[in-house]
Amino acid sequence: MRSPDGLEAILLVGGQGTRLRPLTLSTPKPLLPTAGVPFLAHQLAKARAYGVRRVVFATSYRASMFAEAFGDGAGFGLEIVYVTEDTPLGTGGAIRNAAQALTCPPEAPVLVLNGDILSGHDIAAQVDLHVSRGAAVTLHLTEVDDPSRFGCVPTDDEGRVTAFLEKTPNPVTNRINAGCYVFQRSVIDTIPEGRVVSVERETFPGLIAAGELVLGFADASYWLDVGTPAAFVQGSADLVLGKLGSPALPGPAGERLLLDGAVVSPEAKVTGGTVVGPRATVEAGASVRGSVLSEGCHVASGATVVDSVVGVGARVASGTVLRQVVVGDGASIGPGNELTAGMRVWPGVTLPECAVRFSSDV
């Protein structure tokens, strides 16, 4: 498969990440540490590997933090430029707004990526399909067990998209919009400028109704929307375990990833793709599985942490059990607490000893 050398991309990173609070109260979702690096580092490294050379960031929420994190892109072998929306413009509006920074001609393909998707699909194959068929837009499609939560995308025998049914309760197919698009540059220029536009509800259905060729590129490779705490933790663990390869992973794949200054007792059990952040500590007798331990946090002896996020500088005391929990930055979970089932502890909160239990024994 040829490399689309010189391909330009737009990266949509304007959302507030409300489903991931409190993690996103101070950090945009695409910058959350994921398998040891900001989430977007994995997307940028993959795009670079497929021949992308220039990326336009479509920013809005905490826009300045993206430039602070990635600068001009030289560290990734990319040229990165930033276009900020003064007010959120929706997916289509954001793409149209970012297009002002593109340099490619009208007939060129433009890759559009969402800043909250992990995918193992072949970008070059998607671009090749788009170019060879002369499509207006080519959508990456994936199959899920419950398509009602996503945009349902039926296609005909030749791969042509016949409808775009956004989050319908009665999906006609389990193929969904996977959030990676190849647009013809000239098609982007037809999106209305300066107002809110949804590609899912307006742009794609409008192109289909007008008889334009909208293609589906379907495959069964790894795919995950990391928009919820459970999915975020899963995505990080899958990257560490090597279930999805990433050139940006700062170490070998395995049961755990220890970052600079992390201290893990030989008598602690740290498995399941856990990340132990810089200067974080896991004491003897602690058990951590499939979790994200942030910079400077502390997990005491006898604590159990499973499928959870422990925020920057947070403390988890002895005998505490966390299962599918988010502990905000600087929070302190006292001894004997038992938190589970999607609980979220806000930054700076202190839970005294045995304040929350889900079982009767103490």
* C-beta separation of 84 from 60 below 8 A: yes
167 is catalytic: yes
> Catalytic: which of 29, 167, 243, 269?
167
| Residues that are catalytic | 167
